[in-house]
Structure 1
Amino acid sequence: MDSYTASNGDNPLVQWGYTRDKLGRITAKTETINGVSHTYGYSYDTAGRLQTVTQDGTTIGDYNYDANGNRNGGTYDAQDRLLTWGSNSYAYTANGELQSRTGNGATTSYAYDELGNLQQAKLPGDLTLDYLIDGQNRRIGKKVNGELKQGFLYQNQLNPIAELDGQGNVVARFVYADKGNVPAYMVRGGKTWRIISDHLGSPRLTVDSETGEIVQQMEYDVWGKVISDSNPGFQPFGFAGGLYDQHTGLVRFGARDYDPATGRWTAKDPIGFTGRDTNLYGYVLSDSINLIDPKGLAGVMDFLAALWGYDTLSAASDAVDHAEAAMDATNRKNQAGDVLFDCISNPAGCDTKKAMEAENNYHDATCDVYRESLEAAKKLGAMPGLATTGTEPLPMSHDDLIINGVVNATLNYTK
């Protein structure tokens, strides 16, 4: 079981314990926050999608999906666009972005720029929100009824380093540490605040780092909808570390906005099917317990970062490259092995030249399998400190079984 505890002196503020299956997915979680404890259970269908959720032994979520991963409870068209959900109906632009949501006689409308970034939202009650986007498609500001209320400065493509007020003054600075998708500390009002987030990067507690006073507590459902927030807006982050918009309930992740109420993106994946999901509106293959997508691009590196508990996305991306290279080498090894087996089985029909080539290919491929597998494992942190010696294949051992397990789990999970 994995576990995490954050305390103020001898006073534990939050405690989590996780039980995982052979694929690294969380199947059980114990949680104690501010003295209140719960136990959760999770199960998955054969496609790896979240199926059931229990809290203290009672089922609180039971999910089923159509053939393309759309969650039952709504109606969809042939492009997987959500048409109805509960009492709400939805309409879309020609490019497939969510254009309006109508329910109970009230309509919220959305407008986008040429690149598909959400630019404006008009809510019932004459509330208009305008979003400012820079040349790198980052959200750098928000206007409420024409007045600039909030701004952001970034340290890179994804991570805000400071929050600004409408006059451009810095109201908060963010420090990243143990997680790559959400800050660990916030400096605001002359104080340093600890942002305690769960395994996905969803802030749960914001705490005065000196006194241990809890100034904000947030709770979410399994798809990221905010259930409770004791101090709205004290810090701007929400589910899985995205920028949470209190007015719309949407969460901004890189290139897109996510709607936790439906568990879907408001626009198609900008990289199309390269994101390895046949449903371009689907969020992390319908496994919101284990997976994250900080870029809004359904990238494999984000899945691996969540699956193995790593926040350095480049390392996870490198692991995929090495794992795929290892599998390619395995295929070459198997092909060469087939040629050698045929020669052993039928010496009279053996082509000597091809057999010699196959023997060399088999040896080279075997070396490549071990080398690439080891690099993949090292990137994932499974076997730190190990290194290959020369170009000779390593002997089969417990270490090799670990390597092969890492590679197979990595590639199976990203298919």
Structure 2
Amino acid sequence: MRVTDGSQTYRFDYDDQGNVRTYTAGNGSGSTFNYDHTNKIKDLVVGTSNSILLSERYEYDQAGNRTKIKHEGAGGKVTETNFVYDPINQLLNEALPNGTSKSYTYDGFGNRTSVKVVENGKETKSIAATFNEGNQLVKFGNESLTYDTNGNRTSDGKYKYTWNEDDQIVAITKQGESDAFATYKYDEDNRRIEKNISGTVTRYFYDGDSINPLYETDGSGTVLRQYVYSMDGARLAMKSQGQTLYYHYNPRGDVVAMTNQNKEVVATYEYDSWGNVLKSEVKGIAADNPFGYAGYMYDKEISMYYLIARYYNPDHGVFLSVDPDPGDEDDPVTMNGYTYGDNNPVMMTDPDGKWAWLVPVAIAGGMIAARFGAKYAIRYGAKYGKQAAKWVGNKAKTVYNNYKHSRAVNKELKNIGKQTNKVQHILAPKHNWNKVTKKPGDFKSVSKVMGKVMRKGKETPYKKSSYQRTMKVKGQQVTVTYAKKNGKIYISNGWVK
């Protein structure tokens, strides 16, 4: 497969199993991949004709979790990164090549309750984390955190956050100050279209309903950066000030290096499993590259990642707002609306929106989650290998549309909760909500059921221009009726048969 951008050509070559065997960037640098019999990446070499940027070998456990990375450095020196997991695949420990070891504990709801760091045999950090009954992080070491009634973080040890009615951050103020230093604007597809940091404006422009930015401008409309993508959505290069820089990734989709048109290394990066930046060495325009860990957009002014639907704090290891999709009832960890990557950040990424992945990386499993959420990674990636990559390519637009539908449903249910007459109508005894919830008179409980039906139920025409969705909940058939107009959902009723 080839991607052409002007005089530049990017090439992908495949093996007999449909896995990408080699990738060649527009400057002639590239990557070589080898896979095991289950189509997981066995080894990866990233480099130019002059140097090797990355040479790694990977080992996995029976669950498909990566347990070891062997790094081959200059002079043949080999170092290792090792990972340990609990029985439900949560990361317990990561031992880095520099002698640093990081360990983590969790409660039964999937909340990360402690972080300990040991460097050269000496404990240098020990942080306890406390969560409330809503799985919201309320204490992180000496840092206190608060939330609004919608589950959005309103303050922590560094910042105060202002949210709009769509549960999007619109302003951030430093603690102790009264004026916001960061403000944000979004379009009707919930994508960020403007960021203003202390008067410096960046605007983002997208191609149709894509979630990848094609280019960015300053406040006066001058183009700052443009991006080159493959047909599958892999971000291949950044163009700025007449120069082109090329992205190089590891299996998780982290940007580990950038090279220029002369194949010279102009940026190298290292991260821990949760996305904390351990190393960032950049030259020239590479300093303006906004993408890093797992291919996410990094807002360095707040040390967080912007992931379309939500913002992620890698230090805390949680999102700032609750996931609009409540998760899988068969998998309790996914029911926690704040956890990142089901607490398995080695294999999974969970942006609910922002994505950047190379085709061979998608096959590995972890990068599949970078587009579709953590709950798909093990289920579709490590388990089904290359078939998952095809699923990724075929369903990208469908899953993003489902995400937008879920946001519209949540917004409508929130609006209904403010309408006394409509709530009373939906909660009428004849609608039999007692068959599916212990609190049939509580709209919050009933709305959770309605939301599930609206997200996962089968849609069929109802009356005139309206629709209905139905599905079985606890063995009972639940129906929700609604109309659709201009991308919005208008729910009229719901009942249990």
Question: When the two structures are superposed, what TM-score results if normalisation uses the length of structure 2?
Answer: 0.57
In the alignment, which residue of structure 2 is the partner of 1:291?
Answer: 348
Distance in 2 of aligned mates of 1:83 and 1:75: 6
Residues 234 and 23 of structure 1: is their aligned pair in 2 closer, same or farther, counting only changes over 3 Å?
Answer: same
In the alignment, which residue of structure 1 is the partner of 2:446?
Answer: none
- Spell out, residue by residue over 1:277-327, the C-alpha distance to the aligned partner (whole angstroms, 9 max, x if none): 121101111000001123257464455565447666645869xx9xxxxxx
Q: How does 1:153-168 map to 2 (within 5 A)?
A: 153-155=205-207, 156-168=209-221
Residues 218 and 57 of structure 1: is their aligned pair in 2 closer, same or farther, counting only changes over 3 Å?
Answer: closer
In the alignment, which residue of structure 2 is the partner of 1:61?
Answer: 102
Distance in 2 of aligned mates of 1:119 and 1:34: 46
In the alignment, which residue of structure 2 is the partner of 1:174?
Answer: 227
Structure 2 residue identity aligned to 1:289: V
Kindly state the Cα deviation for residue 56 of structure 1 after the two structures are TM-superposed: 3.9
Kindly state the Cα deviation for residue 196 of structure 1 after the two structures are TM-superposed: 0.9
Kindly state the Cα deviation for residue 166 of structure 1 after the two structures are TM-superposed: 2.3
Distance in 1 of aligned mates of 2:262 and 2:93: 39
Q: Say whether residues 1:187 and 2:239 are aligned partners.
A: yes
Q: Equivalent pairs: percent with the same residue?
A: 25
In the alignment, which residue of structure 1 is the partner of 2:163?
Answer: 112
Residues 268 and 224 of structure 1: is their aligned pair in 2 closer, same or farther, counting only changes over 3 Å?
Answer: same
Distance in 2 of aligned mates of 1:317 and 1:295: 14
Residues 111 and 66 of structure 1: is their aligned pair in 2 closer, same or farther, counting only changes over 3 Å?
Answer: same
Q: Say whether residues 1:25 and 2:78 are aligned partners.
A: no
Residues 193 and 290 of structure 1: is their aligned pair in 2 closer, same or farther, counting only changes over 3 Å?
Answer: same
Distance in 2 of aligned mates of 1:255 and 1:33: 38
- Is 1:301–1:316's contact at 8 Å kept on the other side of the alignment? no
In the alignment, which residue of structure 1 is the partner of 2:422?
Answer: none
- Choose the corresponding residue for 2:290, options 236, 243, 253: 236
In the alignment, which residue of structure 2 is the partner of 1:367?
Answer: none
Q: Say whether residues 1:78 and 2:133 are aligned partners.
A: yes
- Choose the corresponding residue for 1:215, options 258, 266, 272: 266
Q: Say whether residues 1:252 and 2:306 are aligned partners.
A: yes
Residues 189 and 34 of structure 1: is their aligned pair in 2 closer, same or farther, counting only changes over 3 Å?
Answer: farther
Kindly state the Cα deviation for residue 99 of structure 1 after the two structures are TM-superposed: 0.5
SS of the residue corresponding to residue 240 of structure 1 reads: helix
Distance in 1 of aligned mates of 2:164 and 2:378: 28
Kindly state the Cα deviation for residue 207 of structure 1 after the two structures are TM-superposed: 1.0
Q: Say whether residues 1:151 and 2:203 are aligned partners.
A: yes
SS of the residue corresponding to residue 106 of structure 2 reads: coil
Kindly state the Cα deviation for residue 237 of structure 1 after the two structures are TM-superposed: 1.0
SS of the residue corresponding to residue 285 of structure 1 reads: helix
SS of the residue corresponding to residue 327 of structure 2 reads: helix
Q: Tell me, which stretches of 5 or more residues in structure 1 are unaligned?
A: 322-415
Greater share of strand residues, 1 or 2?
Answer: 2
Aligned residues: 312
Distance in 1 of aligned mates of 2:337 and 2:133: 12
Alignment RMSD (CA, Å): 2.9
In the alignment, which residue of structure 2 is the partner of 1:358?
Answer: none
Residues 255 and 303 of structure 1: is their aligned pair in 2 closer, same or farther, counting only changes over 3 Å?
Answer: farther
Distance in 2 of aligned mates of 1:171 and 1:37: 40
Structure 2 residue identity aligned to 1:81: Q
Distance in 2 of aligned mates of 1:68 and 1:218: 33
Distance in 1 of aligned mates of 2:288 and 2:249: 15
Distance in 1 of aligned mates of 2:63 and 2:394: 16
- Is 1:293–1:302's contact at 8 Å kept on the other side of the alignment? no
